[in-house]
Amino acid sequence: MNCDNEEIDISITIGNSHNWNIIIPGKTYYFNVKRNIQIIELLELFYENFKDEELLEIKRYSLFTKKMIKLNDDDTLDLLFNNYSRLDIIDKDISIFYAMIV
């Protein structure tokens, strides 16, 4: 069964910050996206939550999995989920991502 177009709930949490006056660590953003969305498309959705100085700063961040594996812009989320069902994705906490500056 092909689940590429299935929608899933994911979250992106700010993992760290060089300047707490601009970006506050720990804040979480929630999205409902298709499993086959590219990371660059997900980042564009994420960027919609920021403006001005915050937006310039957050664009310096990269996305990481919960296991701290860096995601490449042209990767798709479905590569991470393999053949997992929605419940497996939730149970394994693999729908949680971190935006971090390194």
Rounded to an integer, the average pLDDT of 83-91 is 50
Within 36-101, strands assigned E span 62-65, 96-100
Six-digit token pair at 59?
């664009």
At residue 95 the predicted structure's pLDDT band, cuts being 50, 70 and 90, is: low
Q: Are 62 and 29 in contact (CB under 8 A)?
A: no
DSSP track, 42-57: HHHHHHTT--HHHHHH
Task: State pLDDT tens for residues 14-55.
Answer: 999 999 999 999 999 999 998 889 999 999 999 999 999 999
Q: What's the pLDDT at 4?
A: 61
pTM assigned to the model: 0.84
